[in-house]
Amino acid sequence: MNLKGFPLELEEFERFKMADGRVFRKIFDCYRPGLQEKVCRLTSSATEAEEIVQEVFVQLFLKRNEIPSAEAIFPFLYVVAKRLAISNFRKELIRKQYRMDGGNIQLDTASCAHIQLEQKEYEQMLEKIIDALPAQQKRVYQMNKLEEKSYQEIAEHIGISRHTVRNHLTAACSFVKLRLQKILFTLTILLLVC
């Protein structure tokens, strides 16, 4: 993916910083295929790769005013994609380890009984976070994350475009992710301690 020389005129870069959709689309169309390919090699599924790449472009849009020049767009995208892919890989390892150990964990009731209660509290917090999503985002999030339906299946079921499903899911994931970071970190530490 050698896109460092992607031509973006100074005027286009200024419009990008002002959230011009056409310029952002040009950047997206140019960089997405290469990022998608790279991230796909680092993840276990094309769906995960697609979600990561969507998050990369959400970050680009949100942090566009922090990017000093057109030449800095590629490094920003590359670093964020790599960071998110690594983070996703780590989370997947933790999930797999937790699933493998799930049936065999023997909690010492004297020292770790509180974890079961806290786990229920965390599950309730997650439910509250999901309930706080706007109705359509909540529905899309639940269908994708809990029912494991694809973008296409969700689009057909709800009657919206696949692109709209992706937008709803990206927004919902960002919302949930921000609120879950502390909870997941605490739960992981508690499980590792016991």
Tens digit of each residue's pLDDT (9 = 90 or more) over 140-166: 988 887 778 888 999 999 999 999 999
What is the average pLDDT value for the chain, to the nearest integer?
A: 78
Residue 9 CB partners (closer than 8 Å, separation 6+): 70
3-state secondary structure of 107: coil
pLDDT at 185: 58
Distances (CA, A) of 140 to 26, 49, 65, 147, 166: 27, 18, 30, 10, 9
Same fold, 10-89 and 107-193: no
Decide if domain 10-89 falls under CATH 1.10.1740.10.
yes
What six digits make up the tokens of 31? 């960089």
Question: Is 60 exceeded by the pLDDT of residue 55?
Answer: yes
Question: Is 80 exceeded by the pLDDT of residue 61?
Answer: yes
Distances (CA, A) of 106 to 111, 115, 186, 193: 11, 12, 19, 13
Q: Where are the domains of the chain?
A: 10-89, 107-193
CA nearest 64: which of 8, 118, 3, 17? 17
pLDDT tens per residue across span 62-108: 888 888 888 889 888 988 888 888 777 777 766 666 565 554 444 44
Sequence length of the chain is 194
Domain spanning 107-193 has what CATH number? 1.10.10.10
Looking at the chain, the whole-number percentage of residues with pLDDT higher than 70 is 72
pTM above 0.75, yes or no: no
